[in-house]
Structure 1
């Protein structure tokens, strides 16, 4: 039996039965294998007498499992430790009481726990669930505390935190409040100064050079300069201005300047092709757009400005990647970055009076694909950043002086989320301009001393397969966070092992929420690929087969619905009926109509939540939500032999991000000669026009598509069939 096979065979052997030979087979050298076996024996003896597998696992993490130990060993000991465990969600990390009191929530509870919870308060860990309940039942006290902790300022204070108002399904938040979210990002938080670092960054290819820093005062001046230049364009206040750029310092400055000056950001992902850019510009009625001439990745110049031009964009301000390099093909009415900034009277460039606005004024238009071909246009208000930052404060424990990295883009909600979650909490954001699948990014995390690293699961899978993080010191990381798609237990066990088992805070929400509805916490045990709690201030429900909410805290699986009393959640859509999308046909709870979300969720017997994908006809590809109909419309036109197709997101065996499978029905069933491999290549070529990041993993020939009595395709039936074991022709 080879090493790999032997290691696999021992993967689920109970911990006490693992031998030195098992460790040798998993790749540990002779002497080290004996030492590790002795460490395992001691851990079992020291902590295993009471049968507490979580305590034994914690001891192994502390005493034996270093990043240099082969992952096969980590996996063997994890599964061995929890062999026979009575739950499918064993804790991969358990909070330490001494560290718990240092977290944001732990610190507040130690100071004010009895004020909030009375005699029920015990300690931060034991009382977290009660505190979550308090955040729902006492929004006035909870959110006032959070705003004070984050140092949020209003030019006009709200009359209260929440009041009943028929115009808002869950009530009206911060009535009468006037503020500017960007201005709040540009002021030093208590205990911080304007000389503290707001952004730390590095360009790909300069990995051995010193880091670059932007202080809060430098950021403020840059934002004020751009805000003044925006006013010189003579656009009406409230005009929509798009950003189609990578997530770099200039993009962050432009984003904050647009909001500071009372305009509205239109978020466009830099991966989009011209048709997708054009659609978003038209829906938002954008009056201008910021972009770069190209994106530099691995020394390759990927065109960006030319795509914007192809989309027939309005006035475009173009930033050259290589400084003063002339921009090719510049349109007559477009502006270079240099000419745009030259419009400012530089005597006044460093200061700008923020445009203070009502709490529900728009700040940002983001897009989320629904079940139609046109993406939903979702406005964020000045309230939404408060939700983003509050989630970061509570669930990811972002503290003043922390360094937060989350590779993303302003075209997706996690881009604005990163801006607000870091700056409103007095932390620095870490930006790497380059490929994530390289040792360059891993070194940047080390050098920037990142304390919270966010990612989508496919990134972790890539790091695990290439081992590009090996040898770098990530010991400053206190936790990871994961969002965007389903994660794999083994991939995240590997990720935790890179930092001596710091937790992964799973985080699930939506663009229309501005944050999460379910997450993890550093005050609760964290299980791999599971959520330990609804988000603070959020009440969630699982619906039964009749569409009615199951009793709260009961075990079950079904479509998830939200209590509409939810700070920062959308109240309107630009191109759809908000009530129809989120509330029509939903059940009531305590006199309020529940809000539709669309994911299928499970609540486990031990109180964790697991996501089971979309309950409707959308899927998640690489962290991008897209409708099946959008993909099918393109695939149906690829070949004249195709009668119809169905696009399904299928989770791989062992869990992880959904993979795109296309089920194909051919017109002529009796003479089916189409080459499925060639068809897959054709599908991928065609889908690049929708988004170059979408990729078909497999094509399955089926005689027909399952349908309801009303002729709707039952994609969930196909998803279940393909997830188990496809019986049809497949490539």
Structure 2
């Protein structure tokens, strides 16, 4: 859709968005003043529009007119949110840099905003100093201190972190410190259907009591040391109680919770007094992340025992005074389509977090508008990372559906077509590789060869072999990053990496007329989560073939019943309503599948063909 520049918008244009005439006149008057003060197209213009003009009650189409009108002639990567120096200095990182910036960066230190990127690079090049400092800032204590922060060992490309130390993350979550006491609220929750009732609250003292009760109960069972205990339940207060020590088994260690909490401290600015809510469960890494990111930072966890797609969830966000709300893009899409957030006050939110899938610019513009334009911190990582490797920051301008920085302590590399790392400060497009020395990252797999999965065949950088990740990323001309799906034969569906082969195995058996199938993910043209497409080759094209729409329904039904239990469990019950949106979005018929000389299906070719308008007609 084409939008006018702000200086060409008339009162009549405003009224077309079903805004009453008297309000339209007032809006136009304020808009004219903002344009006079800041010009028709600048970040400061947009910042003042969000503060003076826009509110959740105005139609979203008007929000779009203001945003796209402001940035019509701006260029790439227009910022949807801008930090101020005052707000930057109040963040966890900002306060640290104000006190110790010159110690870390020397005379080139200027201020928290100008020097943030330099500090991020410092966190990579000086892990011993950086992580020791962050642990002190977060108030983390070790039962037995480590010999050092990082011991580099040629037999372990990722290094050995905190050698010789002893700690219990669950104990730290429940311990008293200078920032909390026994009466501090640890968990808030509400059950679906009780939305008119007050929010339930559990103090730290009550949480400690319940955790110890579960621990003694497990001990009384007399289970042999090393026994596996599975938690299969919704993300509610009971699951938090049961989950608290052991860390996630695959492939987390006791260091990984510290990585999750440090990400939250550095990038989402979680601190004492915050209320953190993220619709998730313990089958996905964000469930444990939520527990540690909140409790290790002296914040409270907010839980809704029901569907996050309901107005009841929106009411919990309001009633619990949630300050950091985490989302999955598909949830945001559902909120926008049903308007279930209407009428609820989300002004307590200081920032959103988003992970699991690629996000859509329009949907996230809508999301920011629900909370008076608070920033969305994009966050991408994985279970094997223990948190994120790329994210955003409250000290940098944030662009819709884009990442602004590598996570603290992480370095990123884009590989060209020959597999060679591109210069880190140049724009580019390629498969993402990670610097190997990442605190909290995995170093073993229960059912696989860790070195083969993550390091074998990878290029080196300054003598260190890089770590494989597998996503395709773009570094823009302005220094932001965007995700473009998987580079290999897996897909990111709802935040879970699912093998194409696993999907194809199920689809091949759906109908006797099917010879073979190919499953691949296609990013939507407007951005957002990958959409699953199934290409089908039939055995006998001379006979009547099944209707493709009916076949799509059959594929979805079979996948919901038979797909890897990890994928299904992770979205039930909280995400049960969303499962269909992560499954087959389109079925296409082909006479044959493109293959390599060694007979491997070239899913990249299929992906490219279906995203090109000319080739789409052929499919």
Q: TM-score with structure 1 length normalisation?
A: 0.81
Residue 135 of structure 1 aligns to a residue in which SS? helix
* TM-fit CA distance, 1:672: 4.3
Q: Deviations over 1:232-254 (max 9, x none)?
A: 11112232211111101111111
Please say if 1:364 is aligned against 2:248: yes
Residue 101 of structure 1: which of 86, 89, 102 is its match? 89
2:259 aligned to which of 387, 405, 409 = 387
Compared CA separation, residues 537 and 24, structure 1 to 2 (3 A): same
The corresponding residue for 1:724 is: 612
What's the counterpart of residue 303 of structure 1? none
In 1, Cα distance between the equivalents of 2:177 and 2:294?
A: 11
Tell me whether 1:131 sits opposite 2:3 in the alignment: no
Residue 4 of structure 2 corresponds to residue 13 of structure 1: yes
Are 2:61 and 1:177 equivalent residues in the alignment?
no
Q: 2:389 aligns with which of 517, 538, 546?
A: 517
* Match of residue 580 from structure 1: 452
For residues 576-655 of structure 1, the aligned pairs below 5 Å read 576-655=448-527
Counterpart of 2:61? Answer: 72
1:571-603: per-residue Cα shift (whole Å, max 9, x none)?
Answer: 010111101100010001111100000000010
**In the comparison of the two structures, how many residue pairs are matched?**
602
Work out the CA distance in 1 between the residues paired with 2:354 and 2:616: 33
2:308 to 408, 430, 436: 436
| Equivalent residue, structure 1, for 2:350 | 478
Deviations 1:80-134 (A, max 9, x none): 10012221x1100010111111110011111111111111111111110111011
Instruction: Give the Å deviation of 1:728.
Output: 4.9
Tell me the CA shift for residue 212 of structure 1: 0.5
Structure 1 segment 553-572 matched on structure 2, within 5 A: 553-572=425-444
- SS of alignment partner, residue 231 of structure 2: strand
* Greater alpha carbon shift after TM alignment, 243-252 vs 168-177: 168-177
What residue is the counterpart of 1:700 in the other structure?
Answer: 588
Partner in structure 1 of residue 187 of structure 2 = 199
Measured after TM superposition, the shift of residue 669 of structure 1 is 2.2
- State the distance in 1 between where 2:611 and 2:171 align: 48
- After superposition, give the CA deviation of every residue in 1:585-623 in whole Å (9 maximum; x if it has no partner): 000111110000000001001000000000011112222
Q: CA deviation at 1:634?
A: 0.1
Residue 219 of structure 1 aligns to a residue in which SS? helix
The whole-number CA distance in structure 1 between the counterparts of 2:524 and 2:427 is 25
Give 3-state SS (helix, strand or coil) of 2:395's partner. Answer: coil
Greater CA drift, 625-634 or 682-691: 682-691
Q: Distance in 2 between matches of 1:37 and 1:719?
A: 45
SS in 2 for 1:122: coil
SS in 1 for 2:229: strand
Work out whether residues 281 and 287 of structure 2, in 8 Å CA contact, stay in contact via their aligned partners in 1: yes
1:649 Cα deviation from its structure 2 partner: 1.6
For residue 200 of structure 1, give the secondary structure of its aligned residue in structure 2. strand
Separation (CA, whole Å) in 2 of partners of 1:452 and 1:466: 22
**Of 106, 112, 125, the match for 2:100:** 112
Give the Cα–Cα distance (whole angstroms) in 2 for the partners of residues 553 and 236 of structure 1.
53
Alignment-derived partner of residue 154 in structure 1 = 142
Counterpart contact for 2:484–2:523, Cα < 8 Å: no
Alignment partners' CA distance in 2, 1:610 and 1:674: 38
What is the TM-score normalised by the length of structure 2? 0.95
Deviation, structure 1 residue 729: 8.2
Aligned equivalents of 1:134, 1:519: Cα separation in 2: 17
- Distance in 2 between the 1:150 and 1:384 partners? 15
Preserved contact between residue 93 and residue 503 of structure 1 (Cα < 8 Å): yes
Q: Map of 1:680-695 to 2, 5 A cutoff? A: 680-689=552-561, 690=563, 693=579, 694-695=582-583
2:217 & 2:132 partners in 1: Cα distance?
A: 36
Asked whether the 8 Å contact 2:516–2:538 carries over to 1, the reply is yes
Paired residues of 2:391 and 2:406 also in contact (CA < 8 A):
yes
Measure, in 2, the Cα distance between the counterparts of 1:424 and 1:395. 15
**Relative to total residues, which structure has the larger helix share, 1 or 2?**
2
1:404–1:427 CA contact under 8 A, matched in 2:
yes
| Matched-pair contact (CA < 8 Å) for 1:700–1:728 | no
Counterpart contact for 2:41–2:71, Cα < 8 Å: no
Query: Structure 2: how far apart are the matches of 1:33 and 1:219?
Result: 52
1:504 counterpart (358, 376, 381): 376
Structure 1 residue 661 corresponds to structure 2 residue 533? yes
Q: Distance in 1 between matches of 2:342 and 2:464?
A: 52
Shift of 1:187: 0.8
Gaps of 5+ in 2: 569-578
- What SS does the aligned partner of 2:498 have? strand
Distance 2:28 2:170 in 1: 55
Matches within 5 A, 1:318-337: none
The answer to whether the Cα contact below 8 Å between 1:702 and 1:728 also exists between their aligned partners in 2 is no
Is structure 2 residue 79 aligned with structure 1 residue 86? no
Distance in 1, matches of 2:257 and 2:531, equals 32
Does 2:597 match 1:709?
yes
1:244-263 equivalence runs, <5 A: 244-256=232-244, 259=245
Aligned match of 2:572: none
Q: 1:413-424 residue pairs with structure 2 within 5 A?
A: 413-424=285-296
Say whether the 8 Å CA contact 1:170–1:592 is kept in structure 2: no
Contact kept, 8 Å, 1:665 with 1:702, in 2: the verdict is yes
Residue 521 of structure 1 contacts residue 533 of structure 1 at CA under 8 Å; is this kept in 2? Answer: yes
Displacement of 1:167 after TM fit?
3.6
1:263-301 CA distance string (max 9 Å, x none): x5xxxxxxxxxxxxxxxxxxxxxxxxxxxxxxxxxxxxx
- What does 1:510-549 correspond to in 2, within 5 Å? 510-549=382-421
Provide the alpha-carbon RMSD of the alignment. Answer: 1.3
1:533-584 Cα distance to aligned partner (Å, 9 max, x none):
0000001100010001001111100000001100000001011110110001
SS of 2:276 mapped into structure 1: strand
Q: How many Å separate the matches in 1 of 2:124 and 2:412?
A: 11
CA distance in structure 1 between the aligned counterparts of 2:224 and 2:248, rounded to whole angstroms: 16
